[in-house]
Structure 1
Amino acid sequence: MLDSVKIARRQSEIRQQLAGLVGKDKPTEDETRSMETLDGEYRTNETRYRAALVAEDQERREAGADLETRSDREFAELTSRFELRQVALSLDEGRALSGATAEVVEELRSKGGYQGIPVPLAALETRAGETVAADQINPKVIRPIIDRIFPGSVAERLGIQRINIAQGELAFPVATAGAVFGWQTNELANVGAASPFKTTERSLTPDHTGGAQMVISRKALKQAGDGLEQAIRRDMNAVIGAELDRVVINGSGAAGQPLGIIPGAAAYGIASTSVGDTASWAAFRAQIVAFMQANAITSASQINLGFAPTIWAELDDALVGGTATSEWDRLTKQVGSPAISNTIPLETAIMTATVQGIAPGYLGIYGGVDLIRDPYTKAQSGQLVLTGLVTADFTAPRGMQTRILTGIGAP
């Protein structure tokens, strides 16, 4: 306890004692001496109190500075200790949440409505195993679960930025027209006709919700160890990530899906060029030149490029006449290593550039994963069905930052 607080409490006690003594009409000699003693102590404590405040000033400043940044840091620390196993047991057995898990769930509930138990996206990241009781009987060695195979994130390689939105709609105003430059035709002439500054909006809205579902068997729920939690974490993280990656590229904009880059090329103002020839460095170079002519980039290395594996095979197989250099070698020398993924359709390539710090596209994710239980569908076998709901949307603010090439390698 701070010295200033201790002194303040003692001062309060002295005032109470003096109030009782002063109210007497004929105090005794002992009471008179007591009043003098308490009065002297009170005056001394006033001096000590002011000195304590001065001495503790720096400590209070440091504490205040710590409080200003403690909220985000503490929540990140709580999220790092979030146990998905507690969520599974709560949904299966009704067991109460505790510790950091309970605090994180309560914080998420206070920020938005959830039908089930809210789970922060950060908690789905693969991390070191949770603490497990060391005295569990384990008659045999259980090796780690072998995960399913999912593609790497091609959207991230293309420079698409993920942003988290608490609630509401997020709009990006994009300038489409503005000032013009003109020369005087004579000494008194106007320099040019004024042009209005115009903008258009690209918006992210919470209109698209999808769900990742899985069935957890009773045997899996009763197994000791953290293997189940890690497997659930990795599997949900991978399947959600793979689907978000797909809709960024190929989202139809219908049946609940966001509108992706390729189906939404016309809506986003993205140029699409039909190559109609074998894959070559020259085809990609022509689009890089178009980026440069639009003042979007100044170097080929600023381009992000992605295409299907068949295009890589064609580029690697095509040798420049009389040399051992392939078209792939020429491409990677200028652009770097492209993203190769089956997420991008066959005979199609996507080229993007980050211009003036603005990403070529934004994937907005609303809140965390809303984890909902279904104990009835598989009740006859004691299985638990979990659904993780995710609300997300995608938009491309400026079409000039993206180009699509089609018909690459087409006969």
Structure 2
Amino acid sequence: MLTSVTIARRQSEIRQRLSELVGKDAPSEDETRQMDQLDGEYRQNETRYRAALIAEDTERREAGADLETRSGREWNDLVAGFQMRQVIGALNEGRALDGKTAEVVAELRSAGGYRGVPVPLLALEARAGETVSAGTPDPVQTRPIIDRLFPASVAARMGAQMIAIGSGAVEWPVATSAVTAGWADGETGTVADPTPYTTTDKALKPEHNLGVQMRITRKALLQSGDALEAAIRRDMNGAMAAELDRAIFLGTGAAGQPLGVITGAATYGVTVTPVDAAASWATYRGAVVRFMARNAASTPADVRALIRPEVWDFMEDQLTATAAPKFEFDRMAEKMGGIAMSSTALEAPTGTPAACTSLLTTSAGGVAPVFVGMWGAVDLIRDPFSDAASGGLRLTALTTMDITVARGAQLEILTGVQVA
């Protein structure tokens, strides 16, 4: 029982007893002494009652916050105990799933249809301690299901937001109206006419399927044990992360691929600026100024840059001609909010002199520059025929994703960044 409730009941008993004693015309010395004791206890209980209410209010708030986040934590705890080797055994030998793995699979099946065994995206993370042959493994670090699937990916470092979608298409309304303010001309003048508030819907649709195929020999199935699970996690994680990074920026929009940010710049309304000059902080500073001029960024620290490793190599050799010389890349790194380097998300330098492309992004008003939608879990399907003669296991992991850009003004592409 709550302390405040117990005190309130005692206060009620004291009031009832006092009313009986006060009603007497000639109370005895014992009754008078009892009234003094009850009055003192009543005043003391008032102080305790207020303190109990304050403490219990804090406890209620903490309990409410715990209830709001408990379901997510319980799901993360279940996924943390998900075992890929149980899935391999179920597909290869027909073994029954048990424990947390069975609960996760049952929950995913109830939310959507899968041909094979559904595997949550979080389960593809490489987990610490699972390949230790002796001693106590390190505890698993629990992360959100989608947002931190590939924490080291280029898309995540450039501010792309990963969105988990159960089913159907998702649209993001983005304001496109240019609301203007105007002054009244004179005492009886009118202000500017109202401007219609308009939006454009940016849709994410389940039209692009990314697949990873894995071939596991019978020898590996019989020998590996826990090491097999760690290898499967690493391979699937690495393959999906690399291909997602390439598709998000360089996807052709044909042959099943989504339309990447750089390839689809015209479609997404992204500004493409040909610089045709050697890579330097001044080259990127001009783009930062353009972001700030159109109110997409407040400071250079709000802007992130995606560059090729060759750009870093070139800028590291360039010194500023000032009293305190400093490499161009160091000047750039000090000012900007982040720099990501990738040879997967950007095309290699070409031409004479060699030149490449760079991408700059910013998150305006908390809105991510790129949305990456992923539908459901990874569908892990067994191919029982391809490797049947050798007793091996052929697995196909399928996931569905799409890309869209909220506002083209939050991105800018620089072409002709020379590295020679």
Distance 2:364 2:226 in 1: 44
Give the one of 387, 394, 408 matched to 2:403: 394
- TM-score, structure 2 length as denominator? 0.75
Cα 1:326–1:167, aligned 2, differ >3 Å: closer, same or farther?
A: same
On the 8 A contact 2:314/2:419 being kept in 1, the answer is no
On the 8 A contact 1:170/1:205 being kept in 2, the answer is yes
On the 8 A contact 1:206/1:393 being kept in 2, the answer is yes
Structure 2 counterpart of 1:373, which letter? R
Alignment of 1:203-282 (within 5 A): 203-282=203-282
Alignment of 1:4-403 (within 5 A): 70-129=70-129, 152-321=152-321, 324-335=325-336, 337-342=338-343, 343-345=345-347, 346=349, 347-403=356-412
Structure 2 counterpart of 1:331, which letter? M
SS for the counterpart of 2:182 is coil
SS for the counterpart of 2:333 is helix
On the 8 A contact 2:183/2:192 being kept in 1, the answer is yes
SS for the counterpart of 1:296 is coil
Where do 4+ consecutive residues of structure 1 move more than 6 Å?
64-68, 131-134
The Cα offsets for residues 210-269 of structure 1, whole Å up to 9 and x where unpaired, read as 101110000011115300001001110111111111111111111111111101111111
Distance 1:337 1:304 in 2: 5
On the 8 A contact 2:183/2:191 being kept in 1, the answer is yes
SS for the counterpart of 1:338 is strand
Distance 1:69 1:320 in 2: 51
On the 8 A contact 1:151/1:242 being kept in 2, the answer is no
The alignment covers a number of residue pairs equal to 336
Provide the alpha-carbon RMSD of the alignment. 2.5
On the 8 A contact 1:159/1:352 being kept in 2, the answer is yes
1:118: Cα distance to partner? 0.2
Distance 1:225 1:357 in 2: 45
SS for the counterpart of 1:317 is coil
The Cα offsets for residues 282-336 of structure 1, whole Å up to 9 and x where unpaired, read as 1111111101101111211111111111111111112223664221122112115
Distance 1:353 1:336 in 2: 9
Distance 2:69 2:315 in 1: 51
The Cα offsets for residues 114-157 of structure 1, whole Å up to 9 and x where unpaired, read as 000000011111114559999xxxxxxxxxxxxxxx99511111
Distance 1:359 1:68 in 2: 25
- TM-score, structure 1 length as denominator? 0.77
Q: Which runs of 5+ in 1 are unaligned?
A: 1-57, 135-149
The Cα offsets for residues 174-206 of structure 1, whole Å up to 9 and x where unpaired, read as 111153211223333321232211110111111
Percent of pairs with identical residues: 49
On the 8 A contact 2:120/2:378 being kept in 1, the answer is yes
Structure 2 counterpart of 1:382, which letter? G
On the 8 A contact 1:276/1:410 being kept in 2, the answer is no
1:278: Cα distance to partner? 0.7
SS for the counterpart of 1:363 is strand
On the 8 A contact 1:151/1:341 being kept in 2, the answer is no
On the 8 A contact 2:131/2:230 being kept in 1, the answer is no
The Cα offsets for residues 38-83 of structure 1, whole Å up to 9 and x where unpaired, read as xxxxxxxxxxxxxxxxxxxx9xx99x97777543332221111111
SS for the counterpart of 2:74 is helix
